[in-house]
Amino acid sequence: MAVATPSPAYPHPTPGASLILSFRLKGRTTLIIGSGRLAATRAFAALEAESSVVVLAHGGLRDACEEIKWREMNGQISVVDWDATSVEEDVLRQFLLDNLDISLVCITDTFLSTPNCRPKASAARLYAVCRSLRIPVNTTDIPDLCDFTFTSSHRIEDDQTGEKTCLQVAVTTNSQGCRLGARVRREIVASLPREIGRAVARVGTLRRMAKVRDGERVMQRDAEDTDEDAVPTPNEPVPQRSCSVETELEATKRRMKWVAQLSEYWPIPTLAAMTEDDMRRSLSTESQSQSIPPPLPSSPPKGRIILMGSGPGHPTLLTLSAHKSLTTLADIVLSDKLVPQPILDLVPKRVEIRIAKKFPGNAESAQNELMHQAVEGAKNGLTVVRLKQGDPSVFGRAGEEILFFRSQGFEPIVIPGVSSALAGPTFACIPVTQRGVAESFVVCTGVGRNGKEIRLPGYQRSRTLIVLMGVARIRQLVGALLEGESTRRDGAAYLPHTPIAIIERASMADQRTVVSTLRDIVYAMESVGEQRPPGMIVIGWSVLALSGEGDVTVLDDESSDEERVKRWLSGARWRVLEGLPEGWESL
């Protein structure tokens, strides 16, 4: 009686997948049929694989896309004009027989968006020619005429040099969703450690060192991947030496197995940071006497600089990243003087806060002092938060700080903030754009570098002008906007009755908004008492758009502007609005 033997616990094959390979095409030729944009993409991929590339297309260079022409002109590829008077299949067969180094054929002129798209019947005849000569074919947009397909791929760059590394990531959906495959590939790449490309390059160097002894390559094959005695899993320790005498080949095999364990156990940043001295130590006999690779000697922690914006001032408008930086990450905070106290109150008591000593005539030296303090703190291993109001890139001098920190060896982490240029008007119920009123907006500074006067934008009825750091110079700014021909303004003069708002301490409990016209705003500011910095200026018809019942017909009717302004100001020359919009006190 036969006894049934239990089936082994091996996986059952599930059809529908592809055998994913990585072709090494050095010394071989890829033939591309067609000369459009897709052909250029295929040519570039083949060139990066060190393949020779021949483009076969009707019209040759004359009808080729610009990239194909450029690569041919620079000697990277060859372009052959397909004789339109001959039978295509016969021409292709003879061409393949005359060029026996052709390993792959890509038919690209079947791409549905290609002008004069090749019919499927024609592509099928070309496919049959290639198959008869046992040359694999990819036919764009016709899966049943494909022996292979292209993955959605990405080549990882070195995070320090920007150069491409040998690491590639490829995704295929097996023709079930190419666009989704590209998205999956992007998300995979985005999730990888920043140093991954550099880590692979360092491990590659380590592997080469493991195979060389006294300047000579001991092992031609890759023991880690192909030797039948290779460690099947990195969880198994490297075998200990069984005798006092070990051949060079045995030693090399041992080192290669050790490289496999390093690749498995060491953190990616550690692998990426390896120097050649580290590699030599890791391959030493003493290191390999341990069952698990020891970590590299730890280096002193490197500090960092976080350059961030605090938003307009209300603590709830901090981004989550900014809040975390202030409350849990910071060792020292270097703050501009206009950052409101409620933001600084979030910083733990253990963290030192230094406020910029900026005042008229001292701004440059105070700025330089803070930048040098940031670098000094980072060199001492601290997390330095460089705190600015609003968004650091909107007139916050972020650019010069980024370049300075980079020159000192620190690439800052830049955290955007809610820009006061947008949040301030919103808190004053002023939309910087509004259908029927304002179709664009411009943000400018009220003072140039070293206190120089700037050229302001000219009047456009459908545009909102936002001026930062200009309240202290309101008289000069208004003069530049209203005067006739002016060297202080680009474009037409503003109308005297153009609405204007000055918003002070936007988003804070003591917010104040003064609304008036260009004609009367200077008198208004002289009458309302002391200024409340920081302040900003909003000029244009959007200032009155949402007041009361609203007015969103400004662009439709220009004839009644004076009456429109009189209704808005209730017959007064200006109005003062105190405090935040209703409801904000509960947030």
| Model pLDDT for residues 535-585, shown as the tens digit of each residue | 999 999 999 999 999 999 999 988 889 999 999 999 999 999 999 888 887
pLDDT single digits (tens) 459-469:
999 999 999 99
* 361 pLDDT more than 60: no
Tokens (6 digits) for 461: 């009825």
Predicted pLDDT at 212: 75
Taking the C-alpha atoms of 512, 517, 522 and 526 in order, what is their torsion angle to the nearest 10 degrees?
-40
Using CA of residue 141, residue 142, residue 144, residue 146, what is the dihedral sign? negative
Predicted pLDDT at 228: 38
Helix axis angle, 196-210 to 248-265, nearest 10° = 170
Residues 495 and 474 sit within 8 Å (Cβ to Cβ): no
Predicted pLDDT at 403: 97
CA distance linking residue 526 with residue 505, whole number of Å = 18
Residues 331 and 377 sit within 8 Å (Cβ to Cβ): yes
CA distance linking residue 504 with residue 308, whole number of Å = 22
Per-residue pLDDT band at 358 (split at 50, 70, 90): low
Predicted pLDDT at 265: 85
Letter for the amino acid at 530? E
CA distance linking residue 505 with residue 513, whole number of Å = 9
How far apart, in Å, do the first and last CA atoms of the chain sit? 82
CA distances to 79, 83, 147, 232, 381 from 69, in Å:
9, 19, 28, 49, 52
CA distance linking residue 525 with residue 169, whole number of Å = 62
Predicted pLDDT at 449: 76
Per-residue pLDDT band at 3 (split at 50, 70, 90): low
Residues 443 and 466 sit within 8 Å (Cβ to Cβ): yes
* 491 pLDDT more than 80: yes
Predicted pLDDT at 213: 63
Predicted pLDDT at 85: 62
The residue-averaged pLDDT of 7-16 equals 83
Tokens (6 digits) for 314: 């209300």
Residues 150 and 18 sit within 8 Å (Cβ to Cβ): no
Residues 379 and 304 sit within 8 Å (Cβ to Cβ): no
* 230 pLDDT more than 60: no
Q: What pTM, to 2 d.p., does this model score?
A: 0.72
Per-residue pLDDT band at 452 (split at 50, 70, 90): confident
pLDDT single digits (tens) 48-91:
999 999 999 999 999 999 999 999 999 999 999 987 667 889 99
Predicted pLDDT at 12: 87
Burial class of residue 147, CB neighbours in 10 A (0-12, 13-18, 19+): middle
- Of 384, 241, 381, 366, the closest CA to residue 306 belongs to 384
The residue-averaged pLDDT of 434-453 equals 89
Per-residue pLDDT band at 454 (split at 50, 70, 90): confident
The residue-averaged pLDDT of 238-254 equals 68
* 170 pLDDT more than 50: yes
* 430 pLDDT more than 60: yes
Q: φ, ψ for residue 220 (rounded to 5)?
A: -85, -40
């009456």: which residue's tokens?
Answer: 563
Per-residue pLDDT band at 297 (split at 50, 70, 90): low
Q: Which domains does the chain have, with CATH numbers?
A: 29-150 (3.40.50.720), 155-192 (no CATH), 304-418 (3.40.1010.10), 421-581 (3.30.950.10)
Query: Prior bond to 534 cis, omega within 30?
Result: yes
Predicted pLDDT at 185: 95
pLDDT single digits (tens) 497-550:
999 999 999 999 899 999 999 999 999 999 998 889 889 999 999 999 999 999
> Whole-number mean pLDDT of the chain?
88
Residues 334 and 384 sit within 8 Å (Cβ to Cβ): yes
3-state class (DSSP) for residue 226? helix
Task: Tell which phi-psi region holds residue 186, choosing left (phi > 0), alpha (psi between -120 and 50) or beta.
Answer: alpha
CA distance linking residue 90 with residue 530, whole number of Å = 90
- Of 264, 84, 96, 227, the closest CA to residue 219 belongs to 227
